[in-house]
Structure 1
Amino acid sequence: MAYGPFQGAVEVHSGGLPPWLAPVARAAETVEPTQLSRFLPPEDGAGRQSAVLVLFGEGRRGPELLLMERAGSLRSHAGQPSFPGGALDPADGDPHGEGPVRAALREAWEETGLDPHGVQIFGVLPKLYIPVSGFVVAPVLGWWREPSPVGVMDPAETARVFTVPVADLTDPEKRATAVHPAGHSGPAFLVESALVWGFTAGVIDRLLHYAGWERPWDRSRQVPLDWRA
């Protein structure tokens, strides 16, 4: 399935990025999978290939990230903020080639109405694994060179689409450790009336760290999650 009007070749390059994005582009070129997560794709190739779009833009308060909040009625990850993204379709192409980039752009268009023509893909992070769902996820990095209107395309799947200033993501007062009743924990962000945790928060946390944007924060500050999370 082609994503909207965009059917041209997908090019990944870091030329012409704003100077503030240069540290992220450099990190994407050098970061190792184990530096991003302890959950890596199964060696036997198992797992559903998928991709998310980590889209950086320029907002009223400076650099920002595009996120969406899943509908509260969904069976899995209800109400959880996330990057736009999803599983690869056969038409997206080679999962080991440009497939993840095409899937990330297609899913973002389907979920938020984003015009992929205005996005410059400047990197793809190593693939990570989400054990609870069995997804093998490629985080695709984009620069929102020409912003387009975005919003909820399907209320049954998405509650809202919003942007978060990087200044808020790096604010120590908006950071915490999310603790699940099952015992595992991870970074969390309390931003835009939302609690960002799980896979999405983990990717943001590592990007902030390796881009040199991270500020010291109180890792003992905990936010409990419930069993439905």
Structure 2
Amino acid sequence: MKRKEVLAFVQFLQSKLAPVAHSDLLIDRVEGRQPQARKAAVLLPLFEREGEIDLLFIRRASSLRAHSGEIGLPGGSIEPDDETVALAALREAWEEIGLLPERVEILGLQSPVFTVVSNFLISPVVGFLPEGPGALTLQQSEVAELLQIPLSALADPAILRTERRGPRTIYFYDYGPYCIWGATGRIVHDFLLLVAEWQRTQAAAQLLD
């Protein structure tokens, strides 16, 4: 992907994602059905690498009580001092992987995702790293490994499988030895719908050329 295409993709995402100022409205839509849910935020860090757009994931430490060893996104609980969900996601990304907040251009928010087992209402914050992630330092008590996965690999239908569990569809993305599923799988699925929409607009534009 050329630099011009990367910038066009970033602008497309900005036009489709909800602004950070609307976070309370997005949360209220789900919180009305889950009034006791705890609030959290995660960051979807996007950056260009070797002509691809990559998404940065973490593998949680095996010593953690909850979700140990699972693939997730940098993030965690929203604290009282966090003025916005975006600042909460940036703070958690800094604490967990050493990602400097000033490297992140916030593009907007996806719809919140509710986790039944852990009772969290998670706000996904999409960010673009114009200069890449830089040197990162993992908080080893929480993060065992970083994964840089191209969006093209995540969008490959061959790695996706789904299961129905009651009213819910569970999305599993099998990337090499890793499996992305649960709340992270739902967040990735929602984001890939935007990627697919972008690809359709690009294909239509090429037909008009």
Shorter-chain TM-score: what band?
A: 0.7 to 0.9
The answer to whether residue 30 in structure 2 is matched with residue 26 in structure 1 is: no
Aligned to 1:86: 76
Question: How far did 1:177 drift?
Answer: 2.2
Question: How far did 1:185 drift?
Answer: 4.7
The answer to whether residue 41 in structure 2 is matched with residue 51 in structure 1 is: yes
The answer to whether residue 115 in structure 2 is matched with residue 125 in structure 1 is: no
TM-score of the pair, normalised by structure 1 = 0.71
Q: Secondary structure at the match of 1:160?
A: strand
TM-score of the pair, normalised by structure 2 = 0.78
The alpha-carbon distance between structure 1 residues 126 and 173, as it changes in their structure 2 partners (threshold 3 A), is: closer
Q: Secondary structure at the match of 1:91?
A: coil
1:154-193 deviation line (CA, Å, top 9, x unaligned): 2x2211012110110011222222577x996511111253
1:116-173 deviation line (CA, Å, top 9, x unaligned): 111000101232311211111111110011221224222x221101211011001122
The alpha-carbon distance between structure 1 residues 20 and 183, as it changes in their structure 2 partners (threshold 3 A), is: closer
In structure 2, distance between residues paired with 1:110 and 1:66: 15
- Contact kept, 8 Å, 1:164 with 1:192, in 2: the verdict is no
Identity of aligned residues (%): 28
The answer to whether residue 91 in structure 2 is matched with residue 102 in structure 1 is: no
Q: Secondary structure at the match of 2:30?
A: coil
Aligned to 1:134: 119
Structure 2 alignment gaps of length 5 or more: 1-5, 20-28, 200-209
- Contact kept, 8 Å, 2:106 with 2:126, in 1: the verdict is yes
In structure 2, distance between residues paired with 1:179 and 1:78: 23
- Contact kept, 8 Å, 2:112 with 2:121, in 1: the verdict is yes
Which residue identity lines up with residue 45 of structure 2 in the other structure? L
Give RMSD over aligned pairs: 2.8
Aligned to 2:173: 189
Aligned to 2:64: 74
Aligned to 2:138: 152
Which residue identity lines up with residue 96 of structure 2 in the other structure? E
- Select 1:113's aligned residue among 69, 87, 98: 98
In structure 2, distance between residues paired with 1:115 and 1:54: 14
The answer to whether residue 160 in structure 2 is matched with residue 175 in structure 1 is: yes
Structure 1 alignment gaps of length 5 or more: 1-16, 31-38, 216-229
Which residue identity lines up with residue 193 of structure 1 in the other structure? P
Q: Secondary structure at the match of 1:101?
A: helix
Aligned to 1:223: none
Hey, which of these two has a bigger chunk of helix by percent?
2
Q: Secondary structure at the match of 1:89?
A: coil
- Contact kept, 8 Å, 2:106 with 2:125, in 1: the verdict is yes
